[in-house]
Amino acid sequence: MKVSVKYWRSSLAVVMVVMALIMSTPAVFADNINPGVLPINGQIGGLTYGQWSEKWWQYAFSVTTFAHCPAEPSGQMWFLAGATNRRGIAVRNCIVPSGKNIMFPVFNAEWSVAEAREQQETTHKQSCFIPDLPNGTSDADLLACATAQANQALDEDASLEAKVDGVKLQNLPNFRAVSPPFTFTTVAENPFGLCPADGSCPLTSRAVADGFWIILTPLSPGMHTVHFAASVPFPKVNPPATPFTFTTDATYHLMVQPGQ
């Protein structure tokens, strides 16, 4: 079929306009400082970083291991997780289909009604293990505790790190997102161990989360390495808890499959 000059010129004009828009607004697709990273104000599938963090937590509570790289239900976002063993170190190998976004937490925190009630029973008063916060289980109270935990990552003695194929990502504190209130269901042998503490499994609870996240735009086919780590001190905690430093160090070797 022969295309007339008129329609060919119209099509060319449309292409040029689209290319101009793409070139003039790169932040929509990738972070200017961190190429290949979705900007903190960007969206994937109509969802923000904070909304995706809700989905990450719901996934994280639903599994018994983080040894795999599962996709969320739509299959567009693939989730990575930090280390949960005592040494705080994990090395994992995963296969990821081409064209998929990848999300991981550099340091993240949540607080749930179940955890708040357990804390109240333990301390006979406070609902959060960090002192001087509201005492209760409302969404605002849960957010206050999650945010107080995330704030510890901004301490001068804290460190956040993320690398993709050996390239260090910059300005990690700027990639902070708060989730909307959400409900999760945790299962027996979940890495976070919330069920045994509560004494019942499966356990469903409401929660709010705050933390520092990275969402990668699709990686090219082939092998890639993603590394992220954090060291976050908690010098002030409500008794009977003792001061501690949270550490995590995770390395993923990802095989991104060629497109179909």
Phi, psi of 220 (to 5 degrees): -70, 155
Q: What is the pTM of this model?
A: 0.85
Residue 239 has pLDDT above 80, yes or no: yes
Of residues 160 and 123, the one with the higher pLDDT is 160
Lowest mean per-residue pLDDT among 100-104, 158-162, 186-190, 252-256? 186-190
- Tell me which residue of 100, 51, 110 sits closest to 80, measured CA to CA: 100
Residue 14 has pLDDT above 70, yes or no: no
pLDDT of res. 22: 31
Mean pLDDT value of segment 74-83 = 90
Structure-block tokens of residue 231: 């060291």
Q: Please answer whether residues 237 and 131 qualify as being in contact, where contact means their C-beta atoms are separated by less than 8 angstroms.
A: yes
The residue with tokens 């099509």 is 11
- To 5 degrees, how large is the angle CA 198–CA 201–CA 202? 120
Rounded Cα–Cα distance for residues 34 and 55 (Å): 24
Q: Where are the domains of the chain?
A: 31-256
